[in-house]
Amino acid sequence: MDMDTLELGPFKVKNKLVIRMFSALDDRLGVKEILDDEVFEKIAPAHLGFWSCFGGISFFLFICQIVTGILLMIYYQPTISQAHASVGRIMNEAPFGWLIRGIHAWGSNLMLITIAVHMTKIFVSGIYKAPRELNWVVGVILLLLTLGLSFTGYLLPWTQLAYWATVVGTETPAAIPYIGEYIRFAMRGGDEIGQVTLTRFFAIHVMVLPVITAATVLLHLLQIRRQGISGPL
């Protein structure tokens, strides 16, 4: 590797420290070859258009949700006495807190919209058919996980709107025969919505669902890489 200039696709790096660090990493993992083969020299099929971008946009929004969520956790306090006040401090006192929370809140809505558009495009185009039907199932699971992330995150600001929306949301499964009451009890952590509910939703929102979603996204991408992009239909 040229120690004066590092070329990565259209990018050129001349910082010697960066070049030495990258060279050491490349000697052990072959990073440059992977980037050239899978990123910089890989040409997208000519038939892809505007409506094919929404899967990638959804993935980008998911990354934004992870980053902004981590930043929000620095200030957020998941207790019924401090949750709403901590959100207020994020919005009014934390540096750029209003921006981070705005990106996180609007990103959640945009992510649902882009996933819906992406899945509609896949369904209308018939791309879900064999041999890609398993990846369609994985995509549906990703939609359900995204809905779960939105639902569990909605309660965290602990506002009146969030509280009563959670009341309605947790009452809905109670209509299921035989097991409905048990599901509602498990979701709330008791008969009423309180501290246990908030703690439970917070843990599921920041730990359980993001890990499962990230693993499912990885599976989704691996299947796309394995099967390739569908041709024009």
Report domain extents, the chain. 6-40, 51-227
Bridge partners, residue 12, by sequence: 7
- Mean pLDDT, the chain, as a whole number? 92
Show the tokens assigned to 208. 């359980």
Closest among 224, 202, 217, 201 to 63, alpha carbons compared: 217
Q: In the prediction, which pLDDT does 13 show? A: 85
Over 80: is that where the pLDDT of 45 sits? no
33-47, 71-85, 169-183: range with lowest mean pLDDT: 33-47
Q: Is the pTM of this model over 0.75?
A: yes
pLDDT at 167 over 60: yes
Q: Tell me what pLDDT residue 233 has.
A: 61
pLDDT higher than 70, residue 132 = yes
pLDDT tens digits, one per residue of 83-110? 999 999 999 999 999 999 999 999 999 9
- Backbone φ and ψ for 44, nearest 5 degrees, come out as -75, 145
Helices (H) and strands (E) in the chain, counts: 10, 2
* Second-level CATH architecture of 51-227: Up-down Bundle (1.20)
pLDDT > 70? residue 3: no
Look at residue 131 in the predicted model and tell me its pLDDT: 87
* pLDDT for res 11: 83
Instruction: DSSP letter for 49, please.
Output: -
Read off the pLDDT of each residue in 152-178 and give the average, rounded to a whole number. 96
Omega before 131 cis (within 30°)? yes
